[in-house]
């Protein structure tokens, strides 16, 4: 029954989308300056049908309706209710339906919230967005339909991978999708702008809130993904330069560049073509990312189940999208005259774009290089953290300096007044860096540069913060929050990386081990039976010889039945200064267990910094409303 409802709703949504395009073209020819009311109503129907189909799928999961293929493949009647619901988007088909929902909702909202903009522009945007919607709907319906029937109806489902049964995973996809699927609307708006010549300041104002929304949610989505990896995957890291992680990071760089370039477009009516390219690139990278992740072309802990037919469809769709957009861009391209002074805010923002492009290209090349070498010369190579760290991190140092100075630079023409300030703050940053080394431990030359430059950015931002509190003018608050957050992020990641302690050793129950300042005692092993898994819980006493503090940690090995998997649950003790992280895994045919101990400084401050970055975006949004 649900499969009929679901398919009907999808069919209706596609039909309405086609109607929207039809009436849009009609409305273009009309002389009236306002948009035909029909389009609002149709969009509302479209949103209703699409959302309802998603709810129908959720209900299918709640009721454990195993006649639906997606429910069968990804659920089990014994699964806790919360995870039955979140399993809806924890798989390829369901998440694709969520993807389409975001496309549709943004299409409707953009139509509603742009009443002041020119009609032609809004209509071309609507048409473009609906072409995307129909494209994805067709993909869903013919290749990845969550409502496909399984005949005969199985009595039980295959269950969901237990590492996906986690609260962070519940919000990770929705957050990310508002991020990079949300970028679809300014992709369409860019096309709309080109076709209607609605340019400059007006265009910037029109898309700005949408860019900020998608950027802020993308930041949060990436953060939550890292938090999940840290707590769930058991290796104590939060970023591995994994291809799927990179796929979410690449659009983020474009969005950040776009936010900054929009300021130039709004203030100085310049960089229009570049802004268009950025708008088109953001969603293009999102679709490319989805291609890399779902086609099976890459090897990663995160990939969905592999299926090359999906890959082919997405690749064709991506190609059509890029070529159409590029063609429209080149046809409508008007040469722009740039007249930037070297010492001006515009130039600094150009430099920001320059760095963003560098980071983006580095990650794009690193992620796709193995694919290309294997396709061209049949050699399989790995590109991992060493590459990204070596190429990107040194460039972050000058970037942080520029981030601190740029907001101070005036538009059009700037004169550097007091270089006194500048030098004294550098001196302070070097001093603070030296203090850290003195009280804690020395670190590498590069880390010194990173810590010093991030402190520099932090000090500048804090001074700005004090200033706006004094002057009671908080226009700059969003920028200060995001820049300060970024400074903190680099700072704490730098310290975390340098001061992390890693120990890997084998222990038997009852044994002790001493290392550095710690003594760890493998006290006991306990066995517990839970609703859908059996747990082997190790009890470990950890004694810090320096301050005589004692902690008990309980890492687990979980044995699930549906599907038959083993997971390793880390025992994490979070503190203000550091996290203690312990995992235990069994060694086959041995009484010994492999124990991995990590001390990870400032983890909670890393999460906090990332939240601060995205908060800047949200504050800007709320200020815009007022």
Partner 1 sequence: MKKILSYLIIIFLFNSQAISKISNKDEIEILKNIRCLVCQGQSIADSNSDFAQTIKLVVKDKIGEGKTKKEIYGFLISKYGEWIVFDTQINRKNFLLWFLPYLSLFFGGLIIFAILKKKREN
Partner 2 sequence: MKTNIIISFGLISFILLLFYFGLNNKNKYETSDLVGKKLSSFELKSLDEKNVFNSNTLEKNTFTLINFWASWCAPCRKEHEYLMLLKKKTGLKILGVNFKDRKENALEFLQTLGNPYYLLAKDHDGRSSVNFGIYGIPESLLIDNELNVIKKFIGPINFDNYKEIVKIINNK
By CB under 8 A, the residues from 161 to 200 that bind partner 2 are none
Binding marks (x or -) toward partner 1, 273..302, rule CB under 8 A?
--------------------------xxx-
330 binds, among partner 1, partner 2, none (CB under 5 to 8 A by kind): partner 2
Out of 589, 622, 625, 626, point to the residue binding partner 2 (CB under 8 A).
Answer: 589
By CB under 8 A, the residues from 343 to 372 that bind partner 1 are 347, 350-351, 354, 357-358, 361-362, 365-366, 369
In terms of Cα–Cα distance, which of 66, 46, 86, 61 is closest to 169?
86
Shortest reach from residue 71's CB to partner 2, in Å: 27
Q: Which region, left, alpha or beta, applies to residue 417 given φ > 0 means left and ψ of -120 to 50 means alpha?
A: alpha
Both tokens of 467, joined, read 């200033």
153 binds, among partner 2, partner 1, none (CB under 5 to 8 A by kind): none
By CB under 8 A, the residues from 517 to 576 that bind partner 1 are 568
Cβ 575 vs Cβ 557: under 8 Å: no
171 binds, among partner 1, partner 2, none (CB under 5 to 8 A by kind): none
Binding marks (x or -) toward partner 1, 76..115, rule CB under 8 A?
----------------------------------------
CA distances from 352 to 175, 416, 532 (A): 26, 19, 50
Burial 406-444 (b: 16+ CB within 10 A, else e): bebbeeeebeeeeeeebeebbeebeebbeebeeeeeebe
Burial 65-87 (b: 16+ CB within 10 A, else e): bbbbbbbbbbbbeebeeebbbbb
By CB under 8 A, the residues from 49 to 108 that bind partner 2 are none
Q: Which is nearer to partner 2, 315 or 430 (CB)?
A: 315
Shortest reach from residue 384's CB to partner 2, in Å: 15
Report how many residues bind partner 1 under the rule CB under 8 A.
71
Q: Is there binding between residue 306 and partner 2 (CB under 8 A)?
A: yes
Give dist(CA 491, CA 455) in Å, integer. Answer: 7
Out of 444, 473, 517, 550, point to the residue binding partner 1 (CB under 8 A).
Answer: 444
Q: Which region, left, alpha or beta, applies to residue 412 given φ > 0 means left and ψ of -120 to 50 means alpha?
A: left
Shortest reach from residue 444's CB to partner 1, in Å: 5
Which residues are paired to 551 by β-bridges?
Answer: 542
Cβ 251 vs Cβ 183: under 8 Å: yes
Cβ 218 vs Cβ 255: under 8 Å: yes
Cβ 489 vs Cβ 625: under 8 Å: no
Shortest reach from residue 536's CB to partner 1, in Å: 13
Q: Which is nearer to partner 1, 122 or 558 (CB)?
A: 558
By CB under 8 A, the residues from 480 to 509 that bind partner 2 are none
Span interacting with partner 2, options 295-303, 394-402, 497-505, 515-523, rule CB under 8 A: 295-303
Burial of 266 (0-12, 13-18, 19+ CB in 10 A): middle
Shortest reach from residue 311's CB to partner 2, in Å: 5
Q: Which is nearer to partner 1, 45 or 592 (CB)?
A: 592
By CB under 8 A, the residues from 227 to 266 that bind partner 1 are 233-235, 237, 240, 242-243
What residue has token string 């996809």?
A: 173
Span interacting with partner 1, options 336-344, 463-471, 606-614, 618-626, rule CB under 8 A: 336-344
Q: Is there binding between residue 338 and partner 1 (CB under 8 A)?
A: yes
CA distances from 116 to 174, 206, 302 (A): 30, 9, 43
Q: Which is nearer to partner 1, 151 or 377 (CB)?
A: 377
Give dist(CA 114, CA 526) in Å, integer. Answer: 61
Cβ 180 vs Cβ 214: under 8 Å: yes
361 binds, among partner 2, partner 1, none (CB under 5 to 8 A by kind): partner 1
By CB under 8 A, the residues from 325 to 354 that bind partner 2 are 326, 330, 333, 335
Out of 15, 312, 435, 466, point to the residue binding partner 2 (CB under 8 A).
Answer: 312
Give dist(CA 606, CA 427) in Å, integer. Answer: 25
Out of 308, 386, 394, 510, point to the residue binding partner 2 (CB under 8 A).
Answer: 308
Span interacting with partner 2, options 110-118, 316-324, 348-356, 535-543, rule CB under 8 A: 316-324
Shortest reach from residue 291's CB to partner 2, in Å: 7
In terms of Cα–Cα distance, which of 325, 317, 326, 324 is closest to 295?
317
In terms of Cα–Cα distance, which of 177, 179, 188, 178 is closest to 280?
188
161 phi, psi to nearest 5 deg: -45, 120
Out of 33, 380, 415, 564, point to the residue binding partner 2 (CB under 8 A).
Answer: 380
550 binds, among partner 1, partner 2, none (CB under 5 to 8 A by kind): none
Q: Is there binding between residue 411 and partner 1 (CB under 8 A)?
A: no
By CB under 8 A, the residues from 575 to 594 that bind partner 1 are 583, 585, 587-588, 594
Q: CA torsion, points 152, 157, 161, 165, in degrees to nearest 10? A: 130
Cα 158-159-160 angle, rounded to 5 deg:
130
326 binds, among partner 2, partner 1, none (CB under 5 to 8 A by kind): partner 2
Helix (H, G, I), strand (E, B) or coil at 172: helix
Span interacting with partner 1, options 202-210, 437-445, 519-527, 571-579, rule CB under 8 A: 437-445
Q: Is there binding between residue 362 and partner 2 (CB under 8 A)?
A: no
Give dist(CA 144, CA 93) in Å, integer. Answer: 5
By CB under 8 A, the residues from 368 to 397 that bind partner 1 are 369, 373, 377, 379-387, 390-391, 395
Shortest reach from residue 435's CB to partner 1, in Å: 10
- DSSP class of residue 444 equals -
Shortest reach from residue 179's CB to partner 2, in Å: 23
What residue has token string 């473009």?
A: 128
Q: Which is nearer to partner 1, 478 or 601 (CB)?
A: 601
Q: At what angle do helices 200-232 and 167-180 cross, to 10 degrees?
A: 160
Q: Is there binding between residue 299 and partner 2 (CB under 8 A)?
A: yes
Give dist(CA 461, CA 455) in Å, integer. Answer: 10
Sorted by sequence, the CB contacts under 8 Å of residue 510 that are 6+ apart come out as 522, 523, 524
Burial 554-565 (b: 16+ CB within 10 A, else e): ebbbbbbebeee
Binding site for partner 2 (CB under 8 A): 291, 295-297, 299, 306, 308, 311-312, 315, 318-319, 322-323, 326, 330, 333, 335, 368, 371-372, 374-376, 380, 588-589
């Amino acid at each position: 029954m649900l499969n009929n409802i679901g398919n009907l709703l999808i069919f209706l949504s596609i039909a309405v989308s086609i109607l929207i395009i039809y009436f849009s073209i009609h409305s273009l020819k009309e002389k009236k300056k306002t948009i035909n009311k029909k389009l609002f109503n149709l969009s509302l129907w479209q949103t209703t049908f699409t959302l309802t189909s998603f709810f129908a799928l959720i209900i299918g999961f709640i009721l454990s309706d195993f006649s639906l293929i997606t429910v069968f493949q990804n659920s089990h009647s014994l699964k806790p209710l919360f995870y039955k619901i979140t399993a809806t988007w924890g798989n390829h088909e369901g998440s694709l339906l969520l993807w389409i929902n975001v496309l549709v909702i943004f299409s409707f909202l953009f139509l509603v919230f742009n009443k002041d903009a020119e009609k032609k522009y809004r209509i071309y945007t609507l048409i473009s967005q609906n072409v995307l919607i129909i494209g994805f709907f067709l993909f869903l319906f013919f290749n990845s339909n969550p409502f496909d029937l399984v005949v005969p109806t199985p009595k039980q489902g295959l269950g969901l991978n237990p590492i996906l049964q986690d609260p962070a995973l519940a919000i990770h996809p929705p957050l990310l999708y508002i991020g990079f699927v949300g970028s679809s609307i300014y992709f369409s708006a860019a096309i709309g702008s080109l076709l209607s010549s609605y340019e400059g300041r007006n265009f910037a104002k029109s898309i700005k809130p949408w860019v900020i929304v998608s950027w802020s949610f993308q930041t949060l989505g990436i953060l939550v993904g890292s938090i999940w990896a840290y707590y769930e995957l058991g290796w104590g890291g939060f970023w591995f330069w994994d291809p799927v992680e990179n796929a979410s990071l690449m659009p983020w760089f474009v969005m950040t560049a776009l936010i900054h370039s929009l300021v130039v477009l709004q203030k100085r009516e310049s960089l229009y073509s570049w802004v268009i390219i950025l708008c088109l690139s953001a969603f293009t990278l999102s679709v490319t990312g989805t291609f890399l992740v779902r086609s099976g072309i890459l090897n990663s802990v995160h990939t969905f189940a592999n299926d090359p037919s999906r890959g082919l469809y997405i690749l064709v769709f991506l190609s059509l999208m890029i070529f159409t957009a590029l063609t429209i861009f080149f046809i409508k391209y008007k040469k722009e005259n740039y007249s930037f002074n070297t010492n001006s805010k515009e130039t600094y923002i150009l430099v920001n774009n320059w760095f963003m492009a560098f980071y983006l290209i580095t990650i794009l090349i690193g992620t796709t290089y193995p694919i290309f070498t294997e396709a061209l010369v049949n050699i399989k190579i790995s590109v991992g953290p060493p590459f990204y760290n070596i190429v990107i991190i040194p460039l972050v140092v000058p970037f942080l300096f520029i981030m601190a100075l740029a907001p101070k630079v005036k538009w059009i023409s700037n004169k550097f007044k007091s270089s006194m300030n500048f030098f004294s703050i550098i001196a302070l940053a070097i001093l603070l860096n030296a203090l850290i080394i003195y009280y804690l431990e020395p670190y590498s030359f590069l880390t010194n540069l990173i810590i010093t430059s991030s402190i520099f950015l932090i000090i500048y931002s804090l001074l700005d913060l004090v200033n706006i509190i004094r002057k009671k003018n908080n226009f700059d608050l969003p920028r200060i929050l995001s820049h300060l957050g970024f400074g903190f992020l680099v700072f704490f990641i730098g310290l975390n990386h340098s001061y992390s302690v890693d120990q890997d050793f084998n222990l038997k129950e009852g044994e002790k081990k001493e290392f550095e300042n710690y003594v760890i005692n493998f006290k006991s092993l306990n066995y517990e039976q839970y609703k859908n898994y059996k747990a082997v819980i190790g009890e470990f006493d950890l004694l810090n010889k320096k301050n005589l503090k004692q902690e008990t940690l309980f890492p687990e090995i979980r044995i699930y039945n549906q599907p038959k998997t083993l997971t390793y649950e880390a025992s994490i003790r979070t503190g203000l200064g550091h996290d203690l992280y312990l995992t235990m895994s069994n060694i086959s045919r041995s009484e010994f267990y492999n124990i991995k101990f990590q001390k990870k400084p400032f983890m909670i401050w890393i999460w906090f910094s990332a939240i601060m970055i995205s908060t800047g975006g949200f504050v800007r949004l709320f200020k815009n409303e007022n």
